[in-house]
Amino acid sequence: MPSLSSTKFYHPTTLAQIKMKHFLQENDFSPEEIKEVFTQAFDYKANRKQRPTNDLSGQTWGMLFHKKSTRTRVSFEVGINELGGSSLALDQASTQIGRGESIADTMQVLSRFLDGLIIRTHGHELIEEFASYSTIPVVNALTDFLHPCQIFADCMTILETSCRSQNPFTELQGKKVTFFGDTQCNMANSWILAGSLFGLQVCLSGPREFAPSEEIKAYLAKHNLESTWEHQPDREIAAQGSDYLYTDVWVSMGCEEEEKQRKQIMAPYQVNEELLSLAKPEALFMHCMPTHPGEEVAEAVLSSPQSIIFDQAENRLHMQKAILQQLNQH
């Protein structure tokens, strides 16, 4: 048993002095780290039969999910296992968080037990608060503001479908990704951020009432990131010259009370065969899933050879493994 003198006690006032690497937003990694992550993700994919590795050997990573999940949860659990670690599923209902225990106390306790924590929650400020009290890496598995693991996996998918190298900074430059529908959602925000990082031409096409928020504009300004996006309410103009057409559900988790209104106002922005025909002949269709055929996307597009949605889903596994491996080096 360790002596009291060898046990680390962190007072809240000293937590800010602890330099801990987290992945809460895409630009938390340096350009060099991002290149390493992408290279590692492709390596994990090419050599998946050689598993498990020992990259997280003996480690336990917690998974605290406040929102339902299929791809995110399964890909993280499988990925941790393939890296030689083990995962522990947590949720608000089965922990003391659901009974009012503070994030500060919760995170300082979990930091003593776990080697890392993956969080899928609502407000981005919540995951930032968790990270502020954490002495272990915290990973953003989705907030209402950003979905960085998904966007890195999507960029990996673009690289493997149409690029010559695995470097997102050189190969994604100038490619046009057009996002249709709710352009205030977390995926739209993450595409805006990815555009700034990689030089993508990001076009967001949706109702003016759902134009990108001031929050993402302020985020770019705060971090001195160049804006490479435009909002184009005219769907036909937006589709022209696109390399990739992207959409997401019209009714995000937490917006169910607005379902009828959202479906009505966003109906013109469905990605269908007509819209796809306006893009480049070799254009591909992307969706982070789950899909709602007949709503944000037509069944004919989902089942077409131009749909790469299952490649995107698979690449979540490889990319997230690379993200965890990168964090484990710090």
Q: What is the pLDDT of residues 202-216, one digit of tens each?
A: 999 999 999 999 999
Least confident residue range of 16-25, 45-54, 72-81, 119-128: 16-25
What percent of the chain has a predicted confidence (pLDDT) above 90?
Answer: 85
At 160 the pLDDT is: 96
From the CA atom positions of the chain, what is the Rg in Å?
20
User: Would you say residue 301 has pLDDT above 60?
Assistant: yes
User: Would you say residue 1 has pLDDT above 60?
Assistant: no
What percent of the chain has a predicted confidence (pLDDT) above 70?
Answer: 92
In the chain, domain spans: 4-146+315-328, 148-307
Contact 323, 309 (CB under 8 A): no
Please tell me which residue, 4 or 37, carries the higher pLDDT value. Answer: 37
In Å, what is the CA distance from 191 to each residue of 177, 239, 280? 8, 16, 20
User: What residue has token string 């993200």?
Assistant: 323
With left for phi above 0 and alpha for psi between -120 and 50, is residue 323 left, alpha or beta?
alpha
At 68 the pLDDT is: 85
What does DSSP assign to residue 289? Answer: S
Reduced to 3 states (helix: H, G, I; strand: E, B; else coil), residue 264 is helix
pLDDT band at residue 71 under the 50/70/90 scheme: very high
Strands 116-120 and 60-65, sheet pairing: parallel
Contact 154, 181 (CB under 8 A): no
User: What residue has token string 């089942």?
Assistant: 303
Give the CA diameter of the chain.
70
pTM of the model: 0.93
Q: What is the pLDDT of residues 178-237, one digit of tens each?
A: 999 999 999 999 999 999 999 999 999 999 999 999 999 999 999 999 999 999 999 999
* Mean pLDDT value across the chain: 92
User: What's the average model confidence in pLDDT over 60-69?
Assistant: 93
What kind and span of H or E run contains 106? Answer: helix 103-113
At 254 the pLDDT is: 62
Sheet holding 201-205, edge to edge: 229-231, 201-205, 176-180, 244-247, 284-287
DSSP 121-147: -S-HHHHHHHHHT-SS-EEES--SS--
Fold of 148-307: Rossmann fold (3.40.50)
pLDDT band at residue 8 under the 50/70/90 scheme: very low
Fold match between domain 4-146+315-328 and domain 148-307: yes
At 98 the pLDDT is: 66
User: Would you say residue 256 has pLDDT above 80?
Assistant: no
Reduced to 3 states (helix: H, G, I; strand: E, B; else coil), residue 17 is coil
Task: Looking at the structure, give the CATH architecture of the domain made up of residues 4-146+315-328.
Answer: 3-Layer(aba) Sandwich (3.40)
What kind and span of H or E run contains 246? Answer: strand 244-247
Exposed / middle / buried, residue 314 (Cβ in 10 Å: 0-12, 13-18, 19+): middle
End-to-end CA distance of the chain: 26
Q: How many residues does the chain have?
A: 330
At 7 the pLDDT is: 37
Enter the tokens of residue 176: 């046009």
At 255 the pLDDT is: 67
Please tell me which residue, 262 or 18, carries the higher pLDDT value. Answer: 262
Q: CB neighbours (10 Å) of residue 32?
A: 8
Contact 35, 169 (CB under 8 A): yes
